[in-house]
Amino acid sequence: MLVHVFGAKSSPGWANYSLKDVAKRLSDKYGQDASEFVQNNFYVDDGLQSVETADEAIDQIQRTVAMLKVLKALPDDCIASNVSQKDLSNLPTERTLGILWDPTLDVFTFEGNMKENPPTRRGILSTVSAVFDPLGLIGPYILQGKRILQNVCAEGKD
């Protein structure tokens, strides 16, 4: 198969297969340990492994990153239009399931653009429910709004 539809149900499986296949093919160039690290210790795009020394970890990470840097090998016309260069230190923020991910800093961020609702029970419920947080990362911030709603309901106010 030379082409695969982006977003198909099988896409994560094909991405995982491709990652492991690249590692297997490049084991001679980048080392068997880096290849085995990718093949056996990766879940989606996260790798986790323990080694004896910090120097060993740094060496293995550097070889693994070099093995998996595909973006620099692609021609410019194959790169997404919002990635203006092959510089991995300045990538655009990506939105997934309402969460913003900054790949340069490797952090999740959120935008607080809430629409104005009336100060009623229904308005408070609408505001609190409008926040989409599938990972529960901003739950502590939403909790105050839920407490206000709980108090309003307990007191029987509109």
> Which pLDDT tens digits describe the chain residue by residue (158 residues)?
567 776 778 878 888 888 888 889 888 988 898 899 999 988 767 788 888 999 999 998 888 888 887 666 666 666 666 555 555 566 667 676 667 877 777 788 877 677 888 888 888 888 888 887 777 888 888 899 899 889 999 988 87
| C-alpha angle 107-148-140 in degrees, rounded to nearest 5 | 20
Closest among 16, 21, 49 to 33, alpha carbons compared: 49
pLDDT at 48: 85
**pLDDT score at 86:** 53
Domain that holds residue 50: 11-68
Question: Is 34 within a domain?
Answer: yes
Q: Please report whether residue 21 resides in a domain.
A: yes
pLDDT at position 55: 93
Handedness of CA 56, 18, 16, 99 (dihedral sign): positive
Q: How far apart are CA 149 and CA 1, in angstroms?
A: 54
Please tell me the total count of domains within the chain.
Answer: 1
Is there a domain that residue 33 lies in? Answer: yes
Q: Is residue 136 part of a domain?
A: no
Asked, for residue 103, whether it belongs to a domain, the answer is: no
Amino acid 154: pLDDT: 92
Structural domain contains residue 51: yes
Asked whether the whole model's pTM tops 0.85, one would answer no
Alpha carbon 82 to chain centroid distance? 17
Is residue 23 in some structural domain? Answer: yes
Residue 57 lies in a domain: yes
